[in-house]
Structure 1
Amino acid sequence: MPARRPSPHTLPEVAGGGLLDRRLFLRRGLVLATATAAAHTASATPDDDLPWLHEPGAPFTPYGQPSPHERLTARRIGANRAVPGNGVSFTPLEELEGIITPNGLHFERHHNGVPQIDPARHTLTLHGRVKQPLVFDVKSLLRYPMRSQLLFIECGGNSNAGWHQSPIQRPAGSVHGLISCAEWTGVPLSVLLDEAGVEPDARWVIAEGADAGAMNMSIPLAKMREDCLIGLYQNGERLRPEQGYPMRLIVPGWEGVLHVKWLQRLELSAQPVMSRNETAKYTELLPSGKARQFTFTMDCKSLITSPSHGQSLKQPDIYQVSGLAWSGHGRIRRVEVSADGGRSWADAALDGPVLPRCLTRFRIPWRWNGQPAVLKSRAIDERGNRQPERAALVAERGRAGYFHYNGIVAWAIDDDGRVSHTY
């Protein structure tokens, strides 16, 4: 006798707001009402009206491209009009699935455009407080032992619109899309440091890029030894120019500005260089009058990407709430979701593998009854760090903040099913 399908109206709730047991998506009997309607519509199309069933397809191409029907899935560019090469482009998080960002959609931050570097003329110099200064060309680095790791990179200014007095109404990726996740492959920096020999008084490494902006940043030597890479590959292929070709720095879990692109120089020093991006920027005044400086690690954070701003729910039904969570401190341990504005919470399911300093996809089914609702998610990492409510974050950091915003993001669903950003 076939198993009886549970009715969407009799499924057990584990929290208020219609949140259901996360395991329901694993049950073969759970069928959404919209799936039946979609199947009926598909079967109504005659085969004669589908030319791809009868005509030969396109020939091979040297490098694959997305379908033309997906051309609207693209980075959103937020350029600086005064300086065309200075600005950002956002990853459209709400249009993607899983945790890996395609190379062509990885977010960008440039200070003076994208240099077109000839790898045959590019070198990396390792000098300063070392016993033997070294110079590496690209071909020599490509022969060194390498390591691959799935890691997110997040700009320190990601989500900074959350500091505004009123919630900004843009798609999730256009506000929070200065984060992407990829498999990075490169040479462990510890190998090069050991080869050069580090002087006892060295404490910092000053990294400099080969772009016209000569971007330079100071990073503690201990972090560089621990897990940093000279990145040479992204998702299996050589870096693209906008991601630092022919080489970049990878600093796992730390703010994106430290992942210096087009890397050309590493200088070991006894103190930080105190560059513009360590003084005028990335330093914030607190309500106490003290300033936050060298706030390297990206904090525990999550974001519901579906449903989110600009999307809509067509009718009362069971929907999948899905999103991303991450922490520069390590693995995500738990993600909780609320559908009643935070009065009650339910545990979401985490897609595996859950890796340290990597995006984690979470999911939970939700029965929307057609009434107004507010969706929230909050992440907890393996060290016990918990994503704060926006009000608590503003109370702690004040209104002068710009960087490292990790407050809980809330989406309001009205009775027509439209989704908007709310505080």
Structure 2
Amino acid sequence: MTTAGRLRKAPENFIDREGVAQVVAEARGGRRGFIRSAFAAAAAGLALPALRAQGVAPADGDPNILQLPEHATGLGQAVATDGYGKPSKHEANVQRRRSPGLTQTPQSSVSFAPLQSLFGIVTPSGLHFERHHQGWWDIDPSKHRFMVNGMVKSPQVFTMDELMRLPAVSRFHFIECGANTGMEWGNVAVPTCQYTHGMLSCSEFTGVPLVSLLEMAGADLANGKFVLAEGGDGSSMTRTIPMSVVKSGEVLVAYGQNGEMLRPENGYPLRLVVPGVQGVSWVKYLRRVEVGDQPYGTKDETVHYIDLMPDGQHRQYTSIQECKSVVTTPSGGQVLLDKGFYSISGLAWSGRSKVKRVDVSVDGGRNWRTARLESPVMSKCLTRFSIDWVWDGKPAIIQSRATDETGYVQPNYRQLRTVRGSRSIYHNNAIQSWLVEENGEVKNVQVG
């Protein structure tokens, strides 16, 4: 019988502003020493308590079994002690995190979801990644208005109450920042899954299809080829969205997330949901949609969120998030404490369709096995996959490769860089590799 192996969690807050600058300098110089030392310093403080907690039971028996704990002998907390439930104090370290050196100001920055600590496909609202351009606000919904104008017969202004009286739908979708994994374009830059892929989350969103609101305003859906979505925060975030996407019925003017109202950090009281499209188009604090007959070419789609190609030109309006996957366990910063059985688990997604298949390799891509896709498998939604693995204590390189229903296969770094180069920021969907060393440490590497 194969013995199940034990795994130590990844360290948190591995790096500060100075550390990020040094990582970038080391990466450009082709050196990895700092990454190793940063990981080692963060992991050292966790090693002894973890080994004690997971160590072999004493010869006279495990006191956690032989002695009744306090919670088995007395009264617990009263009902509604907390009017809004919160996680256990023992899970306090599972948090979204920011990298202090990534941006100059925390209001125009990003926080990363702890993918390595989550289960299933739904991201708890309190752990959903953030990307703000001017900070977040808690807007009074009674004063918020949503306007529809442009190529329409009757411009409309909706209050929140009016929107929430209309027929609504609820759908599960992922949202991924276009810059997710962007730090890895040129070299290995960060050690854990939270920082390589954590600008990704998945929720059930509730709202009104945008096309329904356009129809109420008498929009010219034949000649109006695009809509402009505008946010209500200080950055006045604006994005052009093709009318063909809107007419599909998938785009929502959403007020609900995971069974409750949106969180302020996620756009309360109103945001746009554009399934499969990069997160910047999911405009938060949504206040206006304008119908037009040509792309609007705003600053957020001409200067930012464009792809620098090898020939020096930029690709514009590259919105779709291509098929992608990542192994979350085992992943960077974690430590395999034993030889034996492990369940390799991860997430796959595609901005075009359902995920059809995920293959997993433990030898750097030489051999592949097809993983199990856990139900439900939905279009433009995260899909959880898993596969059994027995670690023999030798070095291994774990990878996942996703294929969607269109037949698109997730590329490796060599394939992606051949087409896109290595100087971009956005749309890195290359295969992620995790090196398991003989001592069980898991590190971020690039193969291919």
- Which TM-score applies when normalising by structure 1? 0.89
Corresponding residue for 2:128? 106
Which runs of 5 or more structure 2 residues have no equivalent in the other structure? 4-53
Match of 2:217 among 165, 177, 196: 196
Task: Using the TM superposition, name which of 197-206 and 61-70 deviates more.
Answer: 197-206
Residue aligned with 1:222, SS: helix
Match of 2:83 among 62, 65, 77: 62
Corresponding residue for 2:362? 339
CA distance in 2, matches of 1:298, 1:196: 30
CA distance in 2, matches of 1:334, 1:224: 28
Q: CA deviation at 1:290?
A: 3.9
CA deviation string 1:72-125 (max 9, x = no partner): 000002356643311001000001111000000000000001122111111000
Corresponding residue for 1:74? 95
Residue aligned with 1:173, SS: helix
1:156 maps to 2:170 = no
1:354 maps to 2:377 = yes
Q: CA deviation at 1:341?
A: 0.6
Corresponding residue for 1:20? none
Please give the root-mean-square deviation of Cα atoms over the aligned residues, in Å.
2.0
CA distance in 1, matches of 2:105, 2:366: 46
Corresponding residue for 1:283? 306
CA distance in 2, matches of 1:42, 1:299: 53
Q: Which amino acid aligns with 1:103?
A: S
Corresponding residue for 1:241? 264
Corresponding residue for 1:385? 408
CA distance in 2, matches of 1:332, 1:40: 49
Residue aligned with 2:161, SS: helix
Match of 1:274 among 286, 297, 304: 297
CA distance in 2, matches of 1:330, 1:128: 31
Residue aligned with 1:124, SS: strand
Corresponding residue for 1:96? 118
Match of 2:343 among 320, 329, 342: 320
CA distance in 1, matches of 2:296, 2:61: 62
CA deviation string 1:18-40 (max 9, x = no partner): xxxxxxxxxxxxxxxxx997899
Residue aligned with 1:78, SS: coil
Corresponding residue for 1:406? 429
Kindly tell me: are residues 333 and 145 of structure 1, through their superposed partners in 2, closer, same or farther at Cα, counting changes over 3 Å? Answer: same
CA distance in 1, matches of 2:58, 2:104: 51
CA deviation string 1:40-85 (max 9, x = no partner): 9995425645111112111222100100110000000235664331
1:416 maps to 2:427 = no
Q: Which amino acid aligns with 1:182?
A: S
Residue aligned with 1:193, SS: helix
Residue aligned with 1:104, SS: helix
Contact 1:202/1:269 (8 A) holds in 2: yes
Corresponding residue for 2:273? 250
Contact 2:186/2:423 (8 A) holds in 1: no
Contact 1:169/1:420 (8 A) holds in 2: no
Kindly tell me: are residues 173 and 36 of structure 1, through their superposed partners in 2, closer, same or farther at Cα, counting changes over 3 Å? Answer: closer
Which runs of 5 or more structure 1 residues have no equivalent in the other structure? 1-6, 10-34
1:293 maps to 2:316 = yes
CA distance in 1, matches of 2:203, 2:270: 15
Q: CA deviation at 1:353?
A: 1.2
